Chain A
Amino acid sequence: MPPRNRQPERRSTRSARPVTITAVVDPVAALASENLDGSLYLYDTNRPAGSTGFGTPELHSRVRKGDTLLWNVIPLECETYVSLADVEIDPQIAEPEQKVYPGTDIVFWTAEVKQDLTEPVPYRLSFLLGTVTTPFTPTGRPALAGSAGDGKEA
């Protein structure tokens, strides 16, 4: 009988996996109403660590100094162009860089968290939709937030 699968061990050190912040965008609704209100849903991979605001533009991602962040986009319509045009945040906290998935022109952004956060730091996302040349920016702002306590594991 094959050996039983062991659950991956909880690591006491931080995982090598980046914290991914995903923006789910409804480009058709956004283009029809000419704004992103009600058409932007943010999620991240840190819910066990205490991130809040899932499914809204006001996502608060729990992060710590040294965490790698990755922002990407999932459009709800595979026949419409959507891309993340910019991630604007206090450069003392993080300096996001634009990259592309290898061999494609599909954009994502990465940054390293430079300091531990004592209070939430809001940042701004802007998106290019369809063939509109002006980027769309949501009214609500997401933020990076510090850990409540020491324990990251739930």
Chain B
Amino acid sequence: MAQQHGIIVLFDVENALRTRSLEGNTYWFDNMKLFGSEGVGTERLETIVPGTHYLDGSQATEQVLNWLPAALGSIPPTVPRNYLAEQGRADDRRTLDELAGLDAAGGVNETDVRRLQGRVGKRARKQASGRGLTDSKLLDVTGRTTTSSDAYNYPAPVITDITGPAVTEKIMYPAQYGSPDMIYDGWYWAATVDTSRPGVYRYTMHVQLHELVERNDELVWESVDLTCESSLKIINDPKRNGFTGAGLGVLPMPPVPVTG
């Protein structure tokens, strides 16, 4: 398979929630700058998609796009979410053990109780329509459990749909695929691209952000749906192997195996 394209979208969530818009709060990246993507790191990315075909014109191998949304100012997406959730559960088990060990006869120490309360942390209720929120505690931006509703870690933004001319004109075929990492409830968006029609095609990404609000004395995650746009530039320069500069195929091998 040809190299997969990674498109990373960084959202300034705090600002986007304040202005209720992704305009000016979205930064797009892909891993194809060397091949000609333009606008990497800005709001106006044009992802290059080189053609992949055999000499007879038939499709040789598909191009695949993968999207990864991230929140600026939050725990980076490299920290596996299910890992943090499991750590939280392990913490809770330890807390229960320690609670059981508190000796009422000797008098329960207030400091101990506060320490345990801190470890239990706070959970916010997830609204019925909230996507992508794993059942975990409120964290601060350093990944520690917090009971304060200031400076909480924004959950990862969730892509809910990809639409627009690039989809309706059947340039790309997006869908959600599963992943062992529960960061987005285990789903991420990917698409294959038909590279037979060169041109620039726009697409709209539908994103759901989550905001922590206080309602009737409890904390609730409220979802906010917004959209942003990007585009694909399909070209029909044949796909080249990044190592050899030649066409796709097996890599050149030395005639004698390297010893050592």
Contacts and interface: CB of A to CB of B under 8 A. Distances in A.
Interface of A: 2-3, 5-7, 15-18, 20, 22, 24, 26, 28-29, 32, 38, 41, 43-45, 47-48, 54-55, 70, 72-78, 99, 101-104, 106, 108, 110
B78 A106 contact: yes
B72 A99 contact: no
A108 B77 CA distance: 13
A74 B75 CA distance: 10
B2 interface: no
Contacts of B215: 2-3, 5
B93 interface: no
Contact of B76 (A18, A26, A73, A102): A73
Contacts of A17: 14, 73, 141, 150-151
B78 A5 contact: no
Interface residues of B, number: 42
Interface of B: 6, 8, 10, 12, 14-15, 18, 27, 29-31, 33-34, 40-42, 68, 70, 72-80, 83-84, 87, 141-144, 148, 150-151, 211, 213, 215-216, 222
A5 B141 contact: no
27 contacts: A3-B216, A5-B222, A15-B151, A16-B150, A17-B73, A17-B150, A18-B151, A26-B31, A26-B33, A38-B33, A43-B12, A43-B72, A45-B14, A45-B73, A48-B15, A70-B141, A70-B142, A74-B8, A74-B70, A75-B78, A76-B6, A101-B143, A103-B84, A104-B79, A104-B80, A106-B76, A106-B78
A45 B213 contact: no
Contact of B6 (A29, A77, A106): A77
A20 B73 contact: yes
A72 B76 contact: yes
Contacts of A101: 75, 79, 84, 142-143
Nearest to A73: B76
A45 B72 contact: yes
Contacts of B70: 74
Contact of B87 (A15, A75, A102): A102
A101 B77 CA distance: 12
Contacts of B87: 102-103
A15 B76 contact: no
A74 B143 CA distance: 15
Given A24-B29, A29-B34, A102-B143, 9 more contacts: A16-B148, A24-B10, A38-B33, A45-B72, A48-B15, A70-B141, A76-B30, A77-B31, A102-B87
Contacts of B143: 101-102, 104
A72 to B, nearest CB: 5
A28 B216 contact: no
Nearest to B214: A6
B141 A22 contact: no
Contact of B141 (A18, A47, A75, A103): A18
Nearest to A101: B143
A102 B144 contact: yes
Contacts of B33: 26, 29, 38
Given A3-B216, A78-B6, A99 B31 contact: no
